[in-house]
Amino acid sequence: MRALIQRVSQAEVVIDKSESRKTGQGYLILLGIENADTQEDVEWLSAKISKLRLFDDMDGVMNKSILEIDGEIMIISQFTLHAKTRKGNRPSYIHAAKPDVAIPLYEAFKKQMAKDLGKEIVSGEFGAHMDVTLTNDGPVTIWIDTKNKE
């Protein structure tokens, strides 16, 4: 499972050019799911993200978690995070999970993140065309891969 986490002052997703969902200060999480991912990946990643200290304290040091600032989270499914670009110019997505695997894990991650955050999260819609806009605060962008826990 891969997550690209962006600290944002605001984010918005427009689904199929009609429905708009918005958040304020917090994280925009682009989530990629691969065939080898399990519920263990869901739980580890959610716990890690909820405890990351990416928000400034009174001294301007990134020392506060999203829980401490009562921030919001938007989660967007993003199979292209598993792109393989080694050969040729057309990325391969062979390791990205198909919907029958990815959708249940995406839904489980949203549920776990809401539980760990202690409030509802905002999300896109799996498989839909989405226009995502955000204001990256900092900028701060963090990459996490549950198969390579650095």
Q: Is 80 a catalytic residue?
A: yes
Neighbours of 24 (CB within 10 A): 12
Per DSSP bridges, beta strands 62-65 and 72-77 are unpaired
Q: In the chain, how long is the greatest CA-to-CA distance?
A: 48
- Cα 61 to Cα 2, 56, 73, 117: the distances in Å are 26, 5, 21, 22
Triad 88, 90, 93: Cα angle to 5°? 115
In sequence order, which residues have a C-beta less than 8 Å from that of residue 62 and are 6 or more positions away?
53, 54, 55, 56, 140
Q: Residues 80, 85, 141, 146: which is the catalytic one?
A: 80
At 77 the three-state DSSP class reads strand
Please give the positions annotated as active site.
80
